[in-house]
A = this chain, B = another copy of it.
Amino acid sequence: MSDAPVPADGDYMRRVRESVAGQRVLSMIGARLVHVGPGEVDLEFDHHPNLTQQHGFIHAGILSTVLDSACGYAAYSIMPADAGVLTIEFKINLLSPARGGRFVARGRVTKPGRIITVADGTLVSVNADGEKWIATMTGTLMMVRNREEVRG
List chain A positions with a Cβ less than 8 A from chain B.
1-2, 19, 22-25, 27-28, 49-55, 57, 59-62, 64-69, 86-97, 110-111, 115-116, 118, 120, 124, 130-133, 136, 138, 140, 142, 148-152
- Interface centre among A50, A61, A131, A148, by most B CB within 10 Å? A61
Q: Name which residue of chain B comes closest to A56, CB basis.
A: B24
- Complex Cα distance, B90 from A95, in Å, reads 12
Residues of B within 8 A of A51 (CB): 24-25, 28
- Interface centre among A19, A53, A116, by most B CB within 10 Å? A53
Whether B93 pairs with A151 at a CB distance below 8 angstroms is no
- Complex Cα distance, B116 from A23, in Å, reads 25
Is chain A's interface secondary structure helix, strand, loop, or mixed overall? Answer: mixed
- Complex Cα distance, B59 from A22, in Å, reads 12
If A60-B90, A89-B91 are given as contacts, then 6 extra A-B residue pairs at C-beta distance below 8 Å, sorted by A number, are A1-B124, A59-B65, A61-B68, A64-B65, A88-B116, A93-B110
- Complex Cα distance, B135 from A138, in Å, reads 12
- Complex Cα distance, B14 from A84, in Å, reads 38
Whether A62 pairs with B25 at a CB distance below 8 angstroms is yes
